[in-house]
Structure 1
Amino acid sequence: MPGQHPPRPIRSAFVRHVPLLPSFSQVQTGRRHRPHRRRPVAFRTPQGVARPPPVHADELKIDRPDLYWLRAYVAEYARRTPLPDEDLQRLLVAVTEVVTNAERHGAPPIVLRMWTDGARFDPAFVCEVADGGRWPPDAGFGLVPPRRSEAGTCGRFGLWAVRLLCSLVQIRTGPAGTVVRLRLALPPGFGDGG
């Protein structure tokens, strides 16, 4: 099978979970993969500007988050899409965590945007939280769970848990601030008239 690519779901897993899985060529050749020897910065999402949200994206500026009303707002928008109820619950937990992080560790303004991406082969519900804060250069972006010694402290599971809840989490930070974009897969056929 040299030269062939793995099936699409497996390729997708490699893209979404880079720090946890070896590359397909490493699986074929049997070379060892030791992610624990790399510094977390090696796994960071590339810095830069994310593709801008579409003009039809729903936008909410957040001054002081009232998490109850924030979840109600997100749920009301998401219920207008074919997002399954189980994924809606995951979305609400993830959005709460990301907005809380933006308030605690980021800087104003905090803006929440939501839209559906009707890409033919990968339809998704997309939610992004942007703020004016920046991450330190060696931040791990929640790519690995906290150590046992950190687990007893307040927090530390936030972005790691968010990555487990969503189909894809993209984090970009730079001089203009930080954008955390959450994607949850929609049922096949959404957006292609099917």
Structure 2
Amino acid sequence: MADDAHGEAVTSLPIGGNLSELRERTRDFLTPAKLGERQEANFILAISEAANNVLDHARTPGVLVLRRYADRVVAEISDEAGTLTDPRAGMTAPEVGSRRGYGLWLMRQMCDEVEITSGPAGSTVRLVMRCD
């Protein structure tokens, strides 16, 4: 973990097959943040879902970058495949009975902000949770 030029704490974690370890390391990073218990649980679940999407859909290396500010925490989940290209993905709930499509919708329900970007370097899902 390091501090960047703006004074916030930042860490980078590889996305591999062990999402349990990724969740635990994320929880450790978030501990100093002033998140409520429910906020922390929702944020970790959203990050885990985004990381799982990297493993399921991108099938390329992925990385989680976490930033902790005084008033918010930010997670950027990136992959090299760039298959997630719709910035509005997850804006509406999946069809009733659908077996897939809940992940991005749930992220949008659990986080204060969700942004999807893509380009030549791949796709990134940026999640923001404001501190209490």
| Range of TM-score over shorter length | 0.7 to 0.9
The unaligned stretches of length 5 or more in structure 1 are: 1-53, 188-194
2:10 aligned partner: 57
TM-score (norm. length: structure 2): 0.85
1:94 aligned partner: 46
Contact kept? 2:65, 2:76, Cα under 8 Å? yes
Deviation of 1:68 after TM superposition, in Å, equals: 1.4
Cα shift readout 1:15-34 (whole Å, capped 9, x = no counterpart): xxxxxxxxxxxxxxxxxxxx
Deviation of 1:182 after TM superposition, in Å, equals: 0.6
Identity of aligned residues (%): 27
Match of 2:89 among 120, 133, 141: 141
Deviation of 1:117 after TM superposition, in Å, equals: 3.0
Q: CA RMSD in A?
A: 1.9
1:183 aligned partner: 128
Tell me the distance in 2 between the aligned counterparts of 1:139 and 1:80. Answer: 31
Q: Which has the higher contact order (CA 8 A, sep 6+)?
A: 2
Q: 1:139 to 1:125 in 2, by over 3 A?
A: closer
Tell me the distance in 2 between the aligned counterparts of 1:136 and 1:177. Answer: 8
Amino acid at match of 1:116: R
* 3-state secondary structure, aligned to 2:115: strand
**Whose radius of gyration is greater, 1 or 2?**
1
Point out the structure with the larger strand share: 2
Deviation of 1:73 after TM superposition, in Å, equals: 0.9
1:112 aligned partner: 64
1:131 aligned partner: 79
Q: Give the number of aligned pairs.
A: 126
Tell me the distance in 2 between the aligned counterparts of 1:155 and 1:168. Answer: 22
Tell me the distance in 2 between the aligned counterparts of 1:172 and 1:131. Answer: 11
* 3-state secondary structure, aligned to 2:33: coil
Q: 1:104 to 1:164 in 2, by over 3 A?
A: same
1:83 aligned partner: 35
Tell me the distance in 1 between the aligned counterparts of 2:39 and 2:17. Answer: 22
Contact kept? 2:78, 2:125, Cα under 8 Å? yes
Contact kept? 1:146, 1:156, Cα under 8 Å? yes
Tell me the distance in 2 between the aligned counterparts of 1:132 and 1:88. Answer: 27
Contact kept? 2:75, 2:128, Cα under 8 Å? yes
Q: 1:58 to 1:162 in 2, by over 3 A?
A: same
Tell me the distance in 1 between the aligned counterparts of 2:107 and 2:90. Answer: 8
Match of 1:70 among 22, 27, 34: 22
